[in-house]
Amino acid sequence: MTRFDDRDGFIWMDGALVPWRDANVHILSHALHYGSSVFEGERAYNGRIFKGVEHSARLIRSAQLLDMALPFSVAEIEAAKYAVLAANGWSDAYLRAVAFRGAGEEMGVSSQSNPIRLAVAGWEWGAYYGAAQDQGARLDIASWKRPSPETIPTAAKAAGLYMICTMSKQAAQAKGYSDALLLDWRGHIAEASSANVFFVKGDEVHTPLPDAILNGITRQTVIEMLQAEGIRVHERHIDPAEMEGFEQCFLTGTAAEITPVSEIGPYRFEIGALTRRVVAGYARLVRA
């Protein structure tokens, strides 16, 4: 596969498209040392970014939670994303908008005079979990836990919050799993490394209450889809032992889209009719 730092094409940075290989930042950028970075992952289908405005608005809110004021509006961020699609000739692609505190006059923990920068990149990306899209993803149960919102702004899609996700997924992959399921600091089921989780029991659906995890835009979309079908959705705290009684499970996320789950640790799930209906319904919705 082609390295991500050595490709043809264009990336949008701070108001202009630049050649891919020139889209660089200085080694003393604050974000690299102190984690002052937020981002969004989005998919374009048939040239249209699914819920792009919602993603751009969340990027701004995430930055605010990290005490960063983005110097771009939602409309300007949207224009940048579509400029990236056009410049690279993509109709179906994954887009990554990232805002971060750059290099400037300060290099300490507090560097408020340093500029807030924004970049938008993208690439063509198939199924995030590969064959698991059809066969069901296999998840390990991570040893790391999602933190309390009293310790870090968990409502922000902040880069620093993903470090334990990286460690958890790598540990799971080393054991032959697709991903890892993380619990929260209280021991309740939280989410996968980069996707929300849903469980099915009978004709009802259960999903963790988003009080310590990111309330994903795909998650919200799926809840709306289910409720429109008259399916009852329970947003609540879920203990790991409850997985013994669930029949189906699936993950949701921009990258993951809707991915069925076949097992989590010792628990097994079928890829049932409701899960398949959600997969098909979401595929229709994003390309409508």
Residues 116, 190, single domain; the answer is: no
Return the SS3 of 14.
Answer: coil
Shared domain for 200 and 280, answered yes or no, is yes
150 and 117 part of one domain: no
pLDDT at 132: 78
- Do 98 and 219 belong together in one domain? no
| Residue 262, in any domain of the structure | yes
Q: What is the CATH number of the domain that holds 149?
A: 3.20.10.10
228 & 268 share domain: yes
> Of 78, 97, 123, which residue is a domain's last?
123
Classify residue 114: in a domain, yes or no: yes
Tell how many helices (H) and how many strands (E) occur in the chain: 7, 15
Other CB atoms within a 10 A radius of the CB of residue 227 amount to: 12
Q: Which pLDDT score is estimated for 155?
A: 94
How many other C-beta atoms lie within 10 A of the C-beta of residue 44? 22
Whether residue 254 is contained in a domain is answered as: yes
| DSSP conformation letters of 71-139 | SS-HHHHHHHHHHHHHHHT-SSEEEEEEEEE---S--SS--TTSPEEEEEEEE----TTTTHHHH-EEE
Q: Does any domain span residue 75?
A: yes
Which of these three, 72, 95, 123, is where a domain ends? Answer: 123
Same domain as 143, residue 262: yes
Q: Say whether both 118 and 143 belong to one domain.
A: no
Compute mean pLDDT per 10 residues along the chain, 288 residues long, and list them: 93 98 97 97 97 98 97 98 98 98 94 95 90 89 96 95 97 97 98 98 97 96 98 98 98 96 98 96 96
Tokens read off for 226: 């289910």
HSE-up (13 A, CA, CB side) for residue 257: 27
pLDDT number for residue 75: 98
For residues 115 and 163, membership in a common domain is answered with no
Q: What are phi and psi of 274, to 5 degrees?
A: -65, -45
> Would you state the pLDDT for residue 284?
97
**Residue 164 is assigned to a structural domain of this protein:** yes
Is residue 107 domain-shared with residue 178, that is, in the same domain? no
Q: Tell me, yes or no, whether 5 lies in a domain.
A: no
Query: What pLDDT, on the 0 to 100 scale, is given for residue 131?
Result: 78
Domain annotation covers residue 106: yes
pTM: 0.95
Q: Are residues 217 and 244 in the same domain?
A: yes
Of all residues in the chain, what percent are helix, strand and coil, respectively (each to 5)?
A: 30, 30, 40
Domain encompassing residue 69: 10-123
Q: Are 136 and 119 members of one domain?
A: no
Residue 114's CATH number: 3.30.470.10
Please indicate, yes or no, if residue 107 is contained in any of the structural domains.
Answer: yes
Q: Cα–Cα distance between 4 and 104 in angstroms, integer?
A: 26
pLDDT at 133: 78
Give the pLDDT score at 215: 96
Q: Annotated active-site positions, please?
A: 157
Name residue, tokens 């659906």.
205
Last residue of a domain, one of 83, 104, 123: 123
Closest CA to 120 of 67, 195, 52: 52
| Domain co-membership, 140 together with 250 | yes
Q: What is the DSSP string of 166-213?
A: HHHHHHHHHTT-SEEEEEETTS-EEEESSSEEEEEETTEEEEE-SSSS
pLDDT of residue 44: 98
Spatial distance between the Cα atoms of 283 and 261, rounded to a whole number of angstroms: 17
Q: What is the pLDDT of residue 126?
A: 87
Question: How many domains, in total, are found in the chain?
Answer: 2
Task: Look at residue 127 in the predicted model and tell me its pLDDT.
Answer: 84
